[in-house]
Amino acid sequence: MSANTRILVVDDEEIVRLSHLRVLSGPHCEVKTVFNGDEALREMELHPFDVVLLDLRMPGMDGMTVLRTIKQRWPDSEVVVITGYPTIETAKEAIRLGAYDYVAKPADPDDVIRVASGAMRQKTWSLRRDAKGQDEGISARAGPH
């Protein structure tokens, strides 16, 4: 992970939250865990996370609603859906809504690290691309030098 990566784990299963916390935590990675979608959105309001690992089936707000809200309000955050009930339909819907990836449970620790790292690389690349595009737009509007 790159320096100061912030990851939010959203899952109603304590064992899953603790497992992800254990494998992802490190000196350059802050990991926060929450039980459901309402808690996830409250945490995002306080300080948006770089990467969100999101379960689909939880009490209260379902994961697709959380995904949709995160991508609308915090489009720079990358979301990885990790579900115990994978289907082609939910995978298509998650990707259509902007999820970086879709992973079936149980996800082994190496897969969790791989997908979280990939999501962070995607975020970094997207931010650099957007910044470069803005810089080029400014230069083009400024006229010849």
| SS3 state of residue 74 | coil
Question: pLDDT above 70 covers what percent of the chain?
Answer: 86
- Per residue in 1-36, pLDDT tens? 445 899 999 999 999 999 999 999 988 899 999 999
Domain ranges of the chain: 5-142
| SS3 state of residue 61 | coil
Given the candidates 3.40.50.300, 3.40.50.2300, 3.40.50.150, 3.90.180.10, the CATH classification of the domain at 5-142 is 3.40.50.2300
Cα–Cα dist 112/124, whole Å: 18
This prediction has a pTM of: 0.85
